[in-house]
Amino acid sequence: MPPIFFVLSLFLLTSLSGIVGAAEIAILKSADLPYYEQAVVGFKAGLPATTSVKEYNLNGQLAQGRDIAKSLRASPPDLVFAVGLKAAMAAKLEILDQPVVFCMVLNPEAHGLPAGNMTGIGVKASSETQLAALRSAVPNRNRVGVLYDEDHNGDFIRQAHRAANQQGLELFAVAVHRQEEIPNAVRTLLPKIDALWLIQDQTVVSESAIPFFLESTLDAKMPLFTFSLSLVQQGALGALVLDPWTVGQQAAHIAFARLSGQHTSSGSLQTPEHLQLALNLNSAEHLDLVLPPELIRMAGHVFGGPGALAQQPDDSDVIP
């Protein structure tokens, strides 16, 4: 690079860092949960030290979040970072002109997120990535079952069929429209498959349905691969999960880009980066599975103890 261009590039980068470093950022956190706090810590660690940051806790109350967001309009920050659904919704309803970055929201599209001034980080990995992780855990189980609601995940399942074909898997996808259909659908599906894949679908996944999925698959000695660290703690074999700290780091990078004008990602949902594998070794033993040692070493979360249900989670972590 010619010296003059190097100097100009360095000057531009320094100027942009100065702009971001002098920025004021408001952090809205839905509640005091470890999952959310780790994302906040990761976000702040990714910002210049001179950035002015103020944190606000909604304490689980959307109304309180709206009041906080309204108060911010009097002296608006340069950017709002919203963690969790209630924080994101408060920002959507009350912060209309300033850029917003949000994360840790399950099924954001169902809540009209992101709005035009918002950039979100999704919690759902691609079907190709999830199926590859599933296959790494159970390489000899090629018939994979999945339940889904066409209205919420029709496109995702069509992509999953293509990904499954490429990976030598046979995907048995069963559409359900109401939670009442789930027990019969699972009982019909289990004899046809080698593993059950539980995806993020608001019709399929609920607090009332989770015990049924866990009990049914453990009783049938069927590997259950999912998206939730909590479900792995409760007895699912494995999951591909978000690392909240790295999500916060990703959000900081997006915030830097938004504030410095490097790109326009408003109204878009970004794919999460640096997902981690979670495994339950007791469930593997219950299923008579021997997980490869190298897979266990690369997992970000490994659970064990006396029995598949040894470690009980905080229910608040089931759905971030």
Mean pLDDT of 23-38: 96
pLDDT at 183 over 80: yes
pTM over 0.85: no
Kindly report the CATH class assigned to 127-241+275-317: alpha beta
pLDDT over 70 at 305, yes or no: no
Run of H or E including 308: none
Q: What is the 3-state secondary structure (H, E, C) of 144-172?
A: EEEEECHHHHHHHHHHHHHHHHHCCCEEE
Give the pLDDT confidence score for residue 293 in this predicted structure. 93
Closest to 24 in 3D by CA, of 67, 80, 69, 68: 80
The CATH number that domain 3-123+244-270 falls under is: 3.40.50.2300
pLDDT tens, residue by residue, 130-155: 999 999 999 999 999 999 999 999 99
Write the single-letter amino acid at 138: V
Mean pLDDT of 79-98: 97
Q: Do domains 3-123+244-270 and 127-241+275-317 have the same CATH topology?
A: yes
The residue-averaged pLDDT of 96-102 equals: 95
Q: What percent of the chain has pLDDT over 90?
A: 80
Percent of the chain with pLDDT over 70: 88
Angle value at C-alpha 57, between 53 and 62, nearest 5 degrees: 125
CA distances from 79 to 72, 197, 227, 272 (A): 11, 37, 30, 20
Digit-coded pLDDT (tens) for 49-85: 999 999 999 999 999 999 999 999 999 999 999 999 9
Give the domain ranges of the chain. 3-123+244-270, 127-241+275-317
Task: Work out the pLDDT band at 22, boundaries 50, 70, 90.
Answer: confident
Residues 254-284: pLDDT tens digits? 999 999 887 656 789 998 988 999 999 999 9
